[in-house]
Amino acid sequence: MSTPQNTPVALVTGGASGIGEAVSRRLASRGVRVGVVDRDAVAASRLASEIDGLAVSCDVTSQSALNSAFGEVETWGGRLDVVHLNAGSVGGQSGITDLDVEAYRRVVGVNVDHVVFGLTAAVPALRRAGGGTIVATASLAGLVPLPGDAIYTLTKHAVVGYVRSAAATLGPEGIRAMALCPGFADTALIAHVKEQFGDFPLLTPNDVADAVDDMLERGEPGECWYVQPGREPGPYGFRGVPGPRTGAAPPSLSWDS
């Protein structure tokens, strides 16, 4: 099947289920060709066949595997315009009075390493396309503490800080980097504790896909969009940190020289 070279192409990690599936379907409905990247090869293939996309099986904690996935999607689509780094994992431990180091390394690998590896893999492809957008799924726990899971909170705060910093570098090149910060969503990530929520309202994956739609349409570099049930999604307003009393501007640091 031949497609025009200017048809937009997206890559979605964790794209075969939950929020990733909803975003993949939404992008496809907008005429975007979608590379569905997921560790579950069967689920990725099933979704890709339904949306005329490309399925790529990938361990997102591996830099080489992610680089290969990005290359495969760009070669298939002829370009890359949108990257949604959505794969994620819960911590499953407090990380305060207990620490399973293997589980800790796993959640950091999925929630942090994957975003760093994914963003650095995305940038060359987006440059070749003349610009584009990167959306990293963080969490409301990237903006406020989640006392029951300090490890998960740590990783999502890391995503928010990384994206905000990267955006300042990439924005002048026409590459928007933004973070998506949804509250509790009814996905497999909370299935094991869902009964504890009782009547507490949960987001649906489509609610979050709506927010991604809005971000792609009008989001600005470095913004971190909250998503909460019954509220219009929008960028979180960070308070400025007081500077030194001298009033001097902060240094613009570069480690390349």
Give 9's DSSP letter.
Answer: E
| Nearest of 197, 202, 224, 222 to residue 211 by alpha carbon | 224
* Axis-axis angle for helices 63-77, 114-128 (nearest 10): 30
Active site residue 152: yes
| Under 8 Å between Cβ of 146 and 201 | no
User: 214: buried, middle or exposed (CB in 10 Å: 19+, 13-18, 0-12)?
Assistant: middle
Angle at 157 between CA 155 and CA 159, to 5 degrees: 70
Residue with tokens 């959640």: 107
Residue with tokens 């929630």: 111
| Nearest of 92, 115, 102 to residue 190 by alpha carbon | 92
Residue of 104, 152, 162, 236 with catalytic role: 152
Expressed in angstroms, the distance from the first to the final Cα of the chain is 47
Percentages (nearest 5) of helix, strand, coil residues in the chain: 45, 15, 40
- Residue 249 C-beta-side C-alpha neighbours within 13 Å: 3
Residues annotated as catalytic (active site), given as ranges: 152
